[in-house]
Structure 1
Amino acid sequence: MDNLLSNFSQETLWLLVVIYDLSLAIFLYRFFGKYGLYCAVVLGIVLGNLQGGKVSELNLLGMQFNVSMGAILYSGIYFATDLLNEKFGKDEANRAVMLGFVANIAVMLTLVLSTKFLPSDLTGSSAEVHNAISVLAYYSPIFIVGSLTAYLVSQRFDVWFFHYLKKLTNGKKLWLRNNLSTMASQLIDTLIYQFTWVLATDLTFTQAFAISIAKYVIKVFIALIDTIFIYWVRNWEIKS
């Protein structure tokens, strides 16, 4: 498997991961109903933040983009909350958002507590694992606060705006509310999180804005892809 994946270009891997992330959310929904979508949101926010510091370069449409794994793994979150909103109402979507928020805080606190246990000399890898956990646990506090703030504000807005557009269009034009709500909330998420880079690094507002535009373009691509998936599953009859 590792050798096979190594043969793919970065752009192909990006597309495969987006499809994998959305397919995982669909799998969870198919077999566990709305509770599976809760799980998809929790997985998305936790894995997205754990891997948010990993940045890769992609060449899309002749343009170079620096993309974090966090931005890719967030695709399943918006898909899950929009599907919850569409099928079960905004209260269920907001419940999933808050579950993700609490789960992410719990994971970060658990990682911090884990670093207080000194590694054993019994195995040679123990110190390496300890150091790896320490890197994740003590990633810049400003980034952690910024990420959590961006997630909560943007997701709550996404749920509200999706529901508002659904009422405005009398339940029609799913493609419109799915894309508009996701793109608007992704813009909010990107701007809030990128602002933390200005606070935590030497980036200027101009540089941070340029980076945020590149990240946002990637997120728009993902939003367009997930529209196909939400149309596919919206009429499934699922027992929760």
Structure 2
Amino acid sequence: MLPHSLIEFFSIHQEWLWFFTIVADLGLAVLLFKLFGRQGLYASIIISLVLANLQGPKLTEIFGLQTSMGVILYSSIYFATDLLSERYGQREANRAVMIGFFVSVMFIIMTSISLLYLPSTQPNTAAFALEIHQATESLFSFSPRFVLGSLLAYFISQHIDVWIFHFIKTKTKGKHLWLRNNVSTMLSQAVDTLIYGVVVWWGLVDFITAMQLAMAKYLFKVIIAIADTPFIYWARNWQVDKADWITAPTTKTTDKL
């Protein structure tokens, strides 16, 4: 899909690929919002959750630290909920969180059921069917630890993110969007990382190692939280479809920063 020269460049410069992925992920979320309003942000959350579950096991190294694709794609969910909070209020953001939660549950249930189907044994397709079956087993054989940890971390941290965002917005009287966007995301991501590290990693490795793995991922989450700030300023004042504006909060912010 990408030009061969670009593939070669990114294979050598993985850090540039990481930054490119962040910009592409956030940019597409903003595009969905521009085209479809709040429904576009709902779609962005759902897509990011599905992709994070699919690509979460894909491990790589950026700046010498191990991380996963899931971290990049999962972090953009906080951007979408913060933009929903800013434009449509706390209720809409919490609704998006619950939609994302049930989508995650559905994804885990349906992919687990799909693994119960045995691969075809027809002579002309048996080898291909077995290869695909084994590949999907590698992707979708979720352990109970992973299911509990990922769902619990998402549910708790996302609600914390929405609550802190609106708490700061109230205290600052609608000013300083950068402050509530970054603080709410960083604190809630810390909770997310801690829960995931304790539930998923602790027991498989010792507690210290579990926290080291968690903190490495948290560093990337903080950088992404800072990176999404220009995007939320960019999208905050866009005029979207009339149906969104009819039901959106009528209060306007005088935030200059």
Question: C-alpha displacement at 1:139, in angstroms?
Answer: 2.3
C-alpha separation between the residues in 2 aligned to 1:39 and 1:220? 24
Question: C-alpha displacement at 1:58, in angstroms?
Answer: 0.9
SS in 2 for 1:162: helix
- Any runs of at least 4 consecutive aligned residues in structure 1 with deviations exceeding 3 A, and if so which? 197-200
User: Which residue identity does 1:226 align to in structure 2?
Assistant: D
1:26 maps to what in 2? 30
8 Å Cα contact 1:146-1:193 kept in structure 2: yes
C-alpha separation between the residues in 2 aligned to 1:200 and 1:208? 9
2:102 maps to what in 1? 102
1:37 maps to what in 2? 41
User: Which residue identity does 1:86 align to in structure 2?
Assistant: E
TM-score by length of 2: 0.88
Percent sequence identity is 48
Residue 169 of structure 2 is aligned with which of 166, 170, 178? Answer: 166
C-alpha separation between the residues in 2 aligned to 1:32 and 1:157? 26
TM-score by length of 1: 0.94
- Is residue 197 from structure 1 mapped to residue 200 from structure 2 by the alignment? yes
2:54 maps to what in 1? 50
Greater shift after overlay, 8-17 or 173-182? 8-17
1:226 maps to what in 2? 228
- Between structure 1 and structure 2, the one with the greater Rg is 2
- Deviations, residues 126-166 of structure 1 (Å, cap 9, x unaligned): 21111122222222220121011101100010001101111
The residue correspondences of 1:1-240 to structure 2 (distance < 5 A) are: 1=2, 3=4, 4-8=6-10, 9-59=13-63, 64-120=64-120, 121=122, 122-123=124-125, 124-201=127-204, 203-239=205-241, 240=244
Question: C-alpha displacement at 1:232, in angstroms?
Answer: 0.7
Question: C-alpha displacement at 1:2, in angstroms?
Answer: 6.1
User: Which residue identity does 2:43 align to in structure 1?
Assistant: C
Question: C-alpha displacement at 1:200, in angstroms?
Answer: 4.7
SS in 1 for 2:37: helix
Structure 1: runs of 5 or more not aligned? none
C-alpha separation between the residues in 1 aligned to 2:214 and 2:119? 39
8 Å Cα contact 1:5-1:13 kept in structure 2: no
- Deviations, residues 206-235 of structure 1 (Å, cap 9, x unaligned): 111222221111111000100010011101
C-alpha separation between the residues in 1 aligned to 2:8 and 2:191? 34
C-alpha separation between the residues in 2 aligned to 1:151 and 1:200? 20
User: Which residue identity does 2:138 align to in structure 1?
Assistant: V
SS in 2 for 1:84: helix
8 Å Cα contact 2:157-2:192 kept in structure 1: yes
8 Å Cα contact 2:41-2:84 kept in structure 1: yes
SS in 2 for 1:57: strand
2:249 maps to what in 1? none
User: Which residue identity does 1:78 align to in structure 2?
Assistant: Y
C-alpha separation between the residues in 2 aligned to 1:177 and 1:95? 19
Structure 2: runs of 5 or more not aligned? 245-257
Number of equivalent positions: 235
SS in 2 for 1:74: helix
C-alpha separation between the residues in 2 aligned to 1:176 and 1:211? 27
SS in 1 for 2:62: strand
Greater shift after overlay, 150-159 or 67-76? 67-76
